[in-house]
Structure 1
Amino acid sequence: MIFSDPASVAVVGASDDPAKWGHWLARGALIGRDRRAVHLVNRSGGPVLSEPTVRSLSELPEAPELVVLAVPAAHVPAVVDEALAVGVRGFVGIPAGIDDGVISRIRDAGARLLGPNCLGLFDAATSLHLAWGRFQPGSLGVVSQSGQVGLEIAGLAAESGLGVSRFVSVGNQADVTAAEALLDLVSHDLTTVVGVYLESFGPGIVSAMAELRAAGKPVVLLTVGSSSAAQQAALSHTGALTSSLDVVDAACRRAGAVRVSTPAAVVDLAAVVSSGVPRGCRVGIISDSGGQGAIAADLAAVAGLSVPSLSSVDGLPAVASNPVDLAGAGERDLSNYARAVEVLVRGGDVDTVVLSGYFGSYGADTPSLEDAEVAVAHRICSLARETGVPVAVHSMCADSAAVRALRAGGVPVQHTIERVVAALGDAARLGALSVAAAARSGALSLPLAGAPTGPELSVPAGRIESGDPFRGDPCASLPHQPGYLTARELLSFVRFPRAHAVTSAAEVKATTLTGPYVLKADWLPHKSEHGGVKTGLTDPATAFEEMEARLGPGTYVLEEMDTREDAVELIIGAKRDHSFGPVILVGAGGIHAELFRDTAIELAPVTPATAREMLARLVLAPLLSGRRGAKPVDVTALAELIAQISATLVARPDLSEIELNPVRVGPDGVLAVDALIIPSGDRLNDTSGRRVA
């Protein structure tokens, strides 16, 4: 309760100067003095806001439960030492630059610190206002790593009529984390929807968002890092195909949250779902202008919404189509707006409703119509509450009595149609993510042993027959220089072509494998780029001599070539993300994987069912089901392999990445024809295979 409803607070650095932090924090703290003891500390001892102050915490009759540090960073160590000495248990660190030694002393004393470098906190339920700025009480919980972005979200929430239930600026998260702040909102009664801004993601964020979703509190996430922040790995295609936002989106899918791109989008979406998440993506559009209805329909398609035909049109005071054009019916009788809304929300054909156009302007332009328009607004709000079908309004009037009545009744209103439709599209996406996340929860435990089941391959699949670094132990330690042969042995459940490790032309000539052949340099991660792979060979000994002359002596791999013409090439890659841990990727494979960038990504581990969903999202998905007379490929075996790779990385903390590329899948099964493993913390030289610093 220290950071939500403390019994007493002290603002150290309280000031009478309105331009200083200490003034805002003192003024906010005094708002809650009917609920708790409030102490103002100022080293001069003069009054602040006409309230008495003390010069130090030691002058107080008892230790405050929570202390707000509103002094320059240079003065913080002395204040913290004094506070700990008198028994303070919680701190709000406003200034940046609080050194690690001070933070350690707070932790060692068993106290907690919010921040440093934070804007503070606010709780509407407990009259706790220890932050810069003004907050309108409402239902949106805000947790923000950036105080300024969080304050912008709070301001937009006030303008929208949504308001803020709790605001927590976590700053540098030296002690209290964003995950903890989110978990506190699970049982916070005033909070019905949560907006989060984060620039980095620590442990527990995904589970905290999932708990909020399970508690019926939708989570809207805002973050940054779309291009320059993309995470690249020099050795694997997997790293090059995975950006920071790809992984964040995978985390959102796991938690049942949704990511948006702007503070306004956070509030717009939160306003739509604060009273309920849409059941689907079907939208009904009502307008008093044919042009505005058509624009809304076009925007709906862009937002991923469908505009279905209406099966039930009885009672519509207009043309019975979707979009519904009132065509003057609203001007003749304002109640026709509510009648049209009622037909759509009760008809069962749509999941959300947009009302676009002049409504909200009648009372502003013709004051004698204000009461009637407000009454219609109340009726629209009642219909949305009764049916659970979200209604959103685009009004040509930015503010009026009817607009305020709609917002107060839980119906969001925007001055532009694009914001309304975008929010409804995000709401439909959130609904789908929530349902999928709930279905996936509890189904993520996977076995590690055993090959995927499925029909036998027409191409013989086998193990390495000589020169193997270690044999068949998936828990064995990694050798100093892991290459393709090592990867084959580690991934014992994967089907590979029959192969030999060879170090001389004589060994190549003595092969018992069946051609055509493939020759590979074992140690090269990117074999094609360095001429380290040759395919379709009928004279592998000559090819070996040429390759060895260019690349030098070492271990090479002679392999039977997969010649199935109906196989589709994919990449399966698993990597350890620095924020979210293991992730799994599947996409278009082969040497052009980075060119096509056709991928699907999820947090690991995944079930075979989730793996099939990933495959269905790919652009190349139609190739898997067969087209132009081709037979469908063995998607069951492919999905099981994806799940096994994901589980292997989770179980092997000594691995940073696993990559199979390409994986060739046909009607008769799955065959991996190259593999790469990267140990955690290791970077391999791209041509020598030797580890470098």
Structure 2
Amino acid sequence: MIFSDPASVAVVGASDDPAKWGHWLARGALVGRDRRAVHLVNRGGGPVLSEPTVRSLSELTEAPELVVLAVPAAHVPAVVDEALAVGVRGFVGITSGIDEAVVRRIRAAGARILGPNCLGVYDAATSLHLAWGRFQSGSLGIVSQSGQVGLEIGGLAATSGLGVSRFVSVGNQADVTATEALLDLVSHDMTTVVGLYLESFGPGIVPAMAELRAAGKPVVLLTVGSSAAAQEAALTHTGALTSSLDVVDAACRRAGAIRVATPAALVDLAAVLSGGIPRGRRIGVISDSGGQGAIAADLAVAAGLSVPTLTSVDGLPEGASRRNPIDLAGAGERDLANYARAVEVLARGGEVDTVVLSGYFGSYGEDTPSLESAEVAVAERICRAAAESGVTVVVHSMRPDSAAVRALRAGGVPVQHTIERAMAALGDATRLASLDERSTRAASRPGMSVPAERMKAGGPPGGDPCASLAARETSTAGERQVARTNAPPSCRPGYLTARTLLDFVRFPRAHAVTSVAETRATPLRGPYALKADWLAHKSEHDGVKTNVTDPAAAFEEMHARLGPGTYVLEEMDTRENAVELIIGARQDHSFGPVVLVGAGGLHAELFNDTAIELAPVTPATAREMLDRLVCAPLLKGWRGAPAPDVEALAEVIARISEMISARPDLAEIELNPVRVGPDGVVAVDALVIPDRPLQEECAE
């Protein structure tokens, strides 16, 4: 309760100058003086806001429970030492540039600090206002890494009629984290929906968002960055095909949260969700203008919503259309109550999940003051229809703040000034509704649902004798020389080791070759593929030859260019109607293991057709990932081709996801291409990158 309802607070740096932080913090603190003791500390000792001050904390007769630091960074260490000496247990670090040593002293004393470099904290339920700016009480909980972005969200929430229940600016998160701030909202009664702005993600964010969702408090996430940084260290195609936002979206799906792109979109969506998550995608549109209704319908479809044909619309006013969208055709002007009647008919008819009223309603009382009370009464009736039916009702009004609009918002019906914002928010809300129970917790399963032999048949006889990555260190001196010369700094093991490690995956028959004689003595059947074992992107270095009929000649040519080392001679997978995909997995620095599937082969990065989830995933989730791909029709039998074995493919994806989750010593896993046909899955190239270099291979 120290950061939500402290028994006493002290503002150190309180000021009578309205341009200073200390003035705003002192004024906010005094709002709660009927609930708690408020102390203002000003080293000059003069009054602030006509209230007496003390020059230092040591002058107080009791230790304040929470101290706000609003003094220059150079003075913070002395203030903190004094505060800890008198028994202070909590700090709000408004000041930027607070030394890390100060934070360590706070934590060593068993105290906590919010921030530093934060905008403060506000709680409507406890009259706690230790932040810059003004907040309107409401139901939106805000946790923000950026104080200014959080303040903008709070201002938009006030304008929308949503208001703020709690505001926590976490700043640098030197001690108190965004995860802790989120978890503290689970039991916060005033909060019905949470707005979260983060630029970086620490441990526990996904479980915290999931816990809020389980408590009926969905999280709307705003973040930035598409992530060139996330790709810098990528050594596989997998890394090049993922962005930070891809992984954030996967985290949201796992947690049952939704990501948006702007503060306005966050508040728009939060306003819809504050009244409950829509039951589905079916939208009923009502307007007193055919044009506005048609525009609303088009925008609904563009947002991924459905505008179904209606079969039971008895009770609509005479002259109104019975189609969807419903055009009242002037009936609203003849009798304002017709707006409420139309909403009631759709809300109670069972054919739609959401009703959107678009157009002039909300403007009558503004243009004709004598109609204001009647319009407000109709607005209240619309609110009752929404509450009694459980159907989501959203209003688009041409007036942003009329008496009727205020009545709608007060009754729990969100109102937007533009129809595009209304439909965009509903599209986001129904995406949240479509997340099933599996998205709210980490996936787990007891075992394989597809027989192992379907994946392992034809496994790698004659493959790499190494049984583990560690065994790679026993390779020959020649191989070590090649690895040092041609491998990137990760000193990763090669294709043969990857085949052995991924023993649940089916590969073509293959064996290592280091000489022309070994290629001539091969027991394999052509056509062949010849590969430089140690190269990750073999095609880019001309380190792979396919459709080889003379392996000895191919070996001599490649060996002359690339030098000594281990090469792989492999039987080619010549099955017809096989679809090429990429399956990859890696350790994300923020969210942990992730798994990817997409269009594969040479042009994987060109097509950039991928689906990503946090790992591990079940085969069912893997199938959903495949369904999201643009190339998904190829996996269902395109133009009469036999359908590939998608069940076996989903099993491989799930097993890869389990491996990356169970093996933190592995940084990346990639199978590319994976060829899937009616008779199963065959991987024809693979790479495994350990988290740390193998010592012997990386030796100077």
1:387 alignment partner in structure 2: 389
CA distance in 1, matches of 2:576, 2:472: 38
Cα contact 1:68–1:91 (8 A) shared by 2:
yes
User: 2:116 is matched by which residue type in structure 1?
Assistant: P
How far apart are 1:444 and its partner, in Å?
Answer: 2.1
What is aligned with 1:126? Answer: 126
- 1:312-391 to 2 correspondences below 5 Å: 312-317=312-317, 318-391=320-393
The residue that corresponds to 2:142 in the other structure is 142
| Distance in 1, Cα, partners of 2:576 & 2:85 | 77
| Partner residue in 2 for 1:87 | 87
Which of 547, 564, 575 is equivalent to 2:575? 564
**What are the residue-to-residue correspondences of 1:100-115 with 2, within 5 Å?**
100-115=100-115
Verify the 8 A CA contact 2:492 2:690 in the aligned structure 1: no
**What is the distance in 1 between the residues matched to 2:210 and 2:619?**
21
| Equivalent residue number for residue 274 of structure 2 | 274
Can you give the 5+ residue segments of structure 2 that lack an aligned partner in the other structure?
Answer: 475-490
Q: 1:601 to 1:177 in 2, by over 3 A?
A: same
Partner Cα distance (2:445, 2:294) in 1: 48
| Deviation by residue 1:620-643 (Cα, 9 ceiling, x = unmatched) | 111111122211111111111111
- Is residue 302 from structure 1 mapped to residue 302 from structure 2 by the alignment? yes
Matched, 1:589 2:586: no
> Cα–Cα, structure 1 residues 227 and 202, in superposed 2: closer, same or farther, change >3 Å?
closer
* 1:546 aligned onto 2:557: yes
The amino acid that maps onto 2:204 is: G
Distance in structure 2 (CA, Å) of the matches to 1:543 and 1:345: 72
State how far apart, in whole Å, the 2-side matches of 1:194 and 1:359 are. 29
Aligned position for 1:512: 523
Q: What is the CA distance between 1:72 and its match in structure 2?
A: 0.8
Matched residue, 1:622:
633
Amino acid across the alignment from 1:253: R
Q: Secondary structure at the match of 1:616?
A: helix
Letter in 2 for 1:161: G
Q: Is 1:491 aligned with 2:502?
A: yes
Distance 1:362 1:327 in 2: 16
Residues 72-123 of structure 1: per-residue CA shift (max 9 Å, x gap): 1111111011111111111000011011110111111111110001000000
1:671 matched residue in structure 2: 682
Pick from 601, 608, 611 the counterpart of residue 612 of structure 2: 601
Aligned-pair distance for 1:462? 2.5
Task: Tell me the CA shift for residue 353 of structure 1.
Answer: 1.1
Q: Which residue is equivalent to 1:20?
A: 20
Q: Are 1:78 and 2:78 an aligned pair?
A: yes
Distance 2:500 2:104 in 1: 46
| Aligned mates of 2:699, 2:74 — CA distance in 1 | 43
Say if 1:455 and 1:668, in contact at 8 Å, map to a contact too: no
CA distance in structure 2 between the partners assigned to 1:545 and 1:676 by the alignment: 24
Asked if the contact 1:278–1:427 (Cα under 8 Å) also holds between the matched residues in 2, the reply is yes
Pairing 1:258–2:253 present? no
The farther-off stretch of 79-88 and 222-231 is 222-231
Give the Å deviation of 1:491.
1.0
Shift of 1:437: 1.9
Q: 2-side partners of 1:477 and 1:547: how far apart?
A: 23
Q: Contact 1:575/1:582 (CA < 8 Å) preserved in 2?
A: yes
**Residue deviations 1:315-359, cap 9 Å, x none?**
112110100001100011100000100111111111111111110
- Secondary structure (helix, strand or coil) at the match of 2:185 reads helix
Distance 1:434 1:85, change over 3 A: farther
Structure-1 separation of matches of 2:699 and 2:300: 53
Cα distance, 1:509–1:382 mapped onto 2, change above 3 Å: same
Aligned twin of 1:406: 408
Provide the TM-score with structure 2 as the length reference: 0.95
Q: Deviations over 1:597-636 (max 9, x none)?
A: 1100000111111111101111111111112221111111
> Per-residue displacement from partner, 1:386-415 (whole Å, max 9, x unpaired)?
111111111111221101101111111111
Tell me the TM-score normalised to structure 1 length.
0.96
Whether 2:646 is the aligned partner of 1:646: answer: no
Tell me: CA distance 1:188–1:478, structure 2 relative to 1, closer, same or farther (3 Å). farther
Q: Aligned in 2, Cα 1:170/1:456: closer, same or farther, shift over 3 Å?
A: closer
C-alpha separation between the residues in 1 aligned to 2:131 and 2:454? Answer: 66
What secondary structure sits across from 1:664 in the alignment? strand
Question: Is 1:527 aligned with 2:524?
Answer: no
How many aligned positions are there? Answer: 682
1:460 positional shift: 6.5
Note if 1:291 corresponds to 2:291.
yes
- The alignment partner of 2:45 has SS state of coil
Which residue number in structure 1 is paired with residue 460 of structure 2? 463
Instruction: Please say if residues 473 and 694 of structure 2, whose CA atoms lie closer than 8 Å, have aligned partners that are also in contact.
Output: no
Partner of 1:206: 206
Give the corresponding residue for 1:117.
117
Deviation at 1:209, TM superposition (A): 0.2
Aligned to 1:427: 429
Amino acid in the other structure paired with 1:391: V
CA–CA distance in structure 2, aligned partners of residues 133 and 683 of structure 1? 55
Provide the rounded CA distance (Å) in 1 between the counterparts of 2:261 and 2:578. 39
Matches of 2:618 and 2:185, distance apart in 1: 30
Deviations 1:227-284 (A, max 9, x none): 6555344421000000010000000000000000110111111111102100111111
After the TM superposition, which of the residue ranges 578-587 and 486-495 deviates more from structure 2?
486-495
Cα distance in 1, alignment partners of residues 245 and 131 from structure 2: 30
One-letter code aligned to 2:406? R
- Amino acid paired to 2:671: L
Q: Deviations over 1:445-472 (max 9, x none)?
A: 565xx89526758x9722251653x22x
What is the one-letter code of the residue matched to 2:95?
A: P
Contact kept? 2:309, 2:324, Cα under 8 Å: yes
Contact 1:31 1:127 in 2 (8 A): yes
Q: Deviations over 1:558-609 (max 9, x none)?
A: 0111000111111000011111011000000101100101100000111111
Whether 1:502 and 2:513 are equivalent positions in the alignment is yes
Do 1:451 and 1:494's aligned partners in 2 also have CA atoms closer than 8 Å?
no
In the other structure, the counterpart of 2:669 is 658
CA contact (8 A) 1:501 1:556 kept: yes
Could you tell me whether the CA contact under 8 Å between 2:463 and 2:496 is conserved in 1? Answer: no
Q: Which residue of 2 aligns with 1:453?
A: 451
Give the Cα separation in 2 of the matches to 1:393 and 1:476: 66
CA distance in 2, matches of 1:376, 1:476: 77
Taking only aligned residues, the RMSD between alpha carbons, in angstroms, comes to 1.9
Which residue of structure 2 aligns with residue 57 of structure 1?
57
1:279-306 per-residue CA deviation (whole Å, 9 max, x = no partner) reads: 1111111111111111111111111111
The sequence identity of aligned pairs, in percent, is 79
Q: Distance in 1 between matches of 2:567 and 2:655?
A: 27
**Kindly tell me: are residues 476 and 331 of structure 1, through their superposed partners in 2, closer, same or farther at Cα, counting changes over 3 Å?**
farther
- Listed as ranges, the gaps of 5+ residues in structure 1 are none
Q: 2:652, 2:274 → 1: CA distance?
A: 40
Distance in 2 of aligned mates of 1:322 and 1:246 = 36
* SS of the residue 1:185 aligns to: coil
Tell me how far apart the structure 2 counterparts of residues 8 and 675 of structure 1 sit (CA, whole Å).
61
Q: Residues 52, 478 of structure 1: CA spacing in aligned structure 2 closer, same or farther, 3 A cutoff?
A: farther
